[in-house]
Amino acid sequence: MAIITFMSDFGHRDSYVAAVKAKIYGINPNINIVDLSHEIEHFNLAHAAFVLRSVFRDFPKGTVHLVSVHAPQHGKDRMIAMKVEEHYFVGIDNGLFSLVTDKQPTAIVELIKDAAFQPTFPEKTILSSTAVSLASGISIYNVGRQITEFKQMLNRLPRINKEGISGSVIHIDTYGNLITNISKEAFDKVRKDRNFTVSFAREITDIISESYESKENADCVVVFNSQGLLEIAISQGNATALLGLSYDSPVKVSFI
């Protein structure tokens, strides 16, 4: 069954999410729509990219990912569809897709704005219809004009040397856990069986736990999460509130 994932910063208070889904089902009622999240922080491309990057590869190849975050207000922004890692992405050319994967697209097209195009709500017209076309097996080259470039942005990367890894918080989840850009792969590669410390805020620890329940309630827990990223949590608590850390706060691993 064809799958379209849908992610936006619309929230659930208004009818926007339902309107896009109604358009999709109106074209093809057999499409399977999976909501990734509609609680992306308004206009926050980094938040959207993190959520999409975390999960898109778990879907079957050929899945279409419809994204609306920081949507245009004047209708002049370019709408694109691209194929990368055997997945399709449909949305605004605002740089978000460049943050989702380091791989280069195998195809990019600019969507043509037809008579049905609504500049204030393109998700209900050109973007949703394009997503349905791709999910239905129509070639990407038949939904727009081929282009070779799209807007690029840079992810925050940690600084790595033989003494340690200097990273930062790149996401705060709904529990208040602090997810960093320090990967287990980089940690293992640089560590080479040496002792280490992890420092953040006023805290220093030399323990990376295997689970969130490894410490008593209200204690600080450092783990490598399911994505292989260093994460700071408070057992049964909110790390961002209790530690005073937020997006882009520094986190450092030192090897001894």
> pLDDT by residue (tens digit) across 2-58?
899 999 999 999 999 999 999 999 999 999 999 999 999 999 999 999 999 999 999
For position 114, what pLDDT does the model report?
A: 81
Instruction: For the sheet with 32-37, list strands across it.
Output: 32-37, 3-8, 64-68, 87-92, 79-84, 107-111, 144-146
| Domains of the chain with bracketed CATH | 3-146 (3.40.50.10790), 159-255 (2.40.30.90)
For position 1, what pLDDT does the model report?
A: 65
pLDDT of residue 188 exceeding 80: yes
Considering the chain, what percentage of its residues have pLDDT values greater than 90? 84
> pLDDT by residue (tens digit) across 85-108?
999 999 999 999 999 999 999 999
> pLDDT by residue (tens digit) across 208-235?
998 888 777 778 999 999 999 999 999 8
Question: What integer is the mean pLDDT of 199-214?
Answer: 90
C-alpha–C-alpha distance, residues 123 and 129, integer Å: 9
With bands split at pLDDT 50, 70 and 90, how would you rate the model's confidence at 72? low
For position 74, what pLDDT does the model report?
A: 58
Q: How many CB atoms are located within 10 Å of the residue 222 CB?
A: 22
pLDDT of residue 252 exceeding 90: yes
Considering the chain, what percentage of its residues have pLDDT values greater than 70? 98
